[in-house]
Amino acid sequence: MGRRARVVVAASVLAACLAGASAASASPVVCSSGCFFKSIQAAINAAQPGATITIGAGTYTENIVLNKSLTLHGAGLNTVIYPANSNPVCSPGSLCGGAASNIILVQADNVTISSLWLRGDNPGLTSGVIVGGEDIDARNGIITNHSAGTYNGLTVAKVKVTGVYLRGIYASSGGSFNFNHDTVENVQAEEASIAMFNYEGSGVMSYNKVLNANDAISANWSKGTQFLNNTISKSGSGVHTDNNGGLGGSADLIKANVVRECKANGYGVFVFVPSVSATVEANKVTGCSVGFAVYGSALPGQGPTFSSNVGNGTGASTTNNAGTFGAYLTTDQIGYGYGDVTATLTGNKLSHFNTGLFVTQTSPTEGPPGGQANVTASPSNSFYSNGTGANGDTGTVLNVQEDWWGCAQGPNMGGVCNSAIGTAAFTSWLTVKP
């Protein structure tokens, strides 16, 4: 019976593979050997829109162009795709005018990519670009072809991307997307390298893991992105949103993410020059030189709300004695002028930093004055075991009333409690830990 059962299984697999021979098949099958399709690209070319292409365990060496509404579904880490050519360092931009080595280039709506391992270091190629112990050949892992159009409905789930130069998983065309349960490692070749990225689009990034990235998970000109339950470690920054709402759309939500063991001078979660007011809620940041930050605003009165976050600076690494900050809020837009910074903090816990909360406003040496910093960190925030609890720089407005400072006596109690200095208005304070 055992021998007969094995014959039946083998026959069923063969039948499934042979089914892939039909260009009209709704379910082409790709195998490294024994199937009609041995190439993923060949199956894509033959498939009808809406088909699911099943990719068996094995190794595939291809630069794939996904130009139909299809599903690619592999066998998890047993289905490995390497790039067929090596061109990680090129210009202009991420696609280099079509010359970049992309493992999967998406140029269709309603594409799903799942259960694959994309490895940017092809052992059969030599680029000479050594990063994180890998000789990197792929510039991008998964990227939409923004030079050809706007593509919506991109789903990437349970995909692992390792060892690429610039972008791990990138919704670059301004369309909609859902990236969930993915893992991205070793995307750190240069300052512009980003593990998971949205540009001008809207969607969800949830339950992903990023390790060893320059910039882990971010969005620029987002029209509404939810960053939920992601875990990031050993990266230059954890989660951030830049210019959110500048092209319309809704405010971003950054919730329940964990960021730990940042690189030197690394940031946990930050918001850069928003046009709408993002929500930053229930995130946990440990071992980063800056836990949470805001850099200016595009519109007066627009700024994020931080609630129920936890920041712990233990183990944070800095250079040039830069200091560590639980929350750093500034009018400086880092090379893009200065803008009002407005933020609200409630129920956050910031500890083991040089400064728990620092608010500063900077003006240019020439031209009109910089923006105004107006921050309400009240009520029920906790500042404890910091060098300084809260510091409002000259000219800032900082309300830190009804917060906990490490003991019932309140701030500035001879080293017993954290201190509140500068423009920080702290009376009255909490006498019982929240």
| CA atoms 309, 212, 93, 265: torsion sign | positive
| Residue 164: inside a domain | yes
Query: For residue 216, which phi and psi values (nearest 5 degrees)?
Result: -80, -70
| Residue 85: inside a domain | yes
Residue 5 has pLDDT above 50, yes or no: no
DSSP conformation class of 128: -
Token pair listed for 107: 């140029």
CB 185: neighbour CB atoms within 10 A?
20
Residue 321 has a pLDDT of: 79
- Give the span between the Cα atoms of 280 and 202, in whole angstroms: 17
Closest CA to 344 of 333, 329, 331: 329
- Which residues are within 8 A (CB) of 175 and not within 5 positions of it... i.e. 6 or more apart? 109, 144, 150, 151, 152, 153, 154, 201
pLDDT, one tens digit per residue, over 155-209 is 999 999 999 999 999 999 999 999 999 999 999 999 999 999 999 999 999 999 9
Q: Are residues 62 and 202 in the same domain?
A: yes
| Residue 17: inside a domain | no
Amino acid (1-letter code) at residue 110: N
Q: What percent of the chain has pLDDT over 70?
A: 93
Chain centre to alpha carbon of residue 44? 29
| Residue 260: inside a domain | no
Q: Are residues 301 and 429 in the same domain?
A: yes
Q: CA of 135: how far to CAs of 121, 130, 375, in Å?
A: 6, 5, 46
Q: Are residues 177 and 223 in the same domain?
A: no
Q: How are strands ordered across the β-sheet holding 58-61?
A: 58-61, 79-82, 117-119, 160-162, 183-187, 209-213, 231-233, 258-260, 284-286, 310-312, 349-351, 382-384
Q: Are residues 293 and 311 in the same domain?
A: yes
Q: Are residues 224 and 198 in the same domain?
A: no
Residues in the chain, overall count: 434
Q: Which helix (H) or strand (E) holds 6?
A: helix 2-19
Q: Are residues 197 and 223 in the same domain?
A: no
> What's the mean pLDDT in 288-317?
95
Q: Are residues 208 and 223 in the same domain?
A: no
| Residue 11: inside a domain | no
Residue 2 has a pLDDT of: 37
Query: For residue 46, which phi and psi values (nearest 5 degrees)?
Result: -90, -20
- Give the span between the Cα atoms of 233 and 179, in whole angstroms: 18
Which domain range does residue 37 map to? 26-213
- The band of 322, judged by pLDDT with boundaries at 50, 70 and 90, is confident
Q: CA of 128: how far to CAs of 89, 123, 201, in Å?
A: 10, 12, 34
- Say how many CA atoms lie within 13 Å of 7 toward its Cβ: 4
Are 118 and 143 a contacting pair, CB within 8 Å? Answer: no
- The band of 415, judged by pLDDT with boundaries at 50, 70 and 90, is confident
How many domains in the chain?
A: 2
Residue 301 has a pLDDT of: 85
Concatenating the DSSP letter of every residue in 151-200 gives ---EEEES-EEES-SSEEEEE-SS-EEEEES-EEEEE-SSTT-EEEEEES
> What's the mean pLDDT in 45-57?
97
- The band of 6, judged by pLDDT with boundaries at 50, 70 and 90, is very low
- The band of 368, judged by pLDDT with boundaries at 50, 70 and 90, is low
- The band of 32, judged by pLDDT with boundaries at 50, 70 and 90, is confident
Q: What percent of the chain has pLDDT over 90?
A: 87
Q: Are residues 209 and 285 in the same domain?
A: no
Q: Are residues 183 and 284 in the same domain?
A: no
- Give the span between the Cα atoms of 32 and 240, in whole angstroms: 40
Q: Are residues 309 and 199 in the same domain?
A: no
| Residue 239: inside a domain | no
Residue 17 has pLDDT above 60, yes or no: no
Q: Are residues 196 and 315 in the same domain?
A: no
Q: Which of 90-104, 219-233, 319-333, 417-431 has the lowest mean pLDDT?
A: 319-333
| Residue 185: inside a domain | yes
- Give the span between the Cα atoms of 235 and 186, in whole angstroms: 9
Token pair listed for 219: 């969005």
| Residue 236: inside a domain | no
Closest CA to 288 of 305, 311, 272, 309: 311
- Give the span between the Cα atoms of 208 and 57, in whole angstroms: 23
Q: Are residues 404 and 327 in the same domain?
A: yes
Residue 414 has a pLDDT of: 77
CATH number for the domain harbouring residue 131: 2.160.20
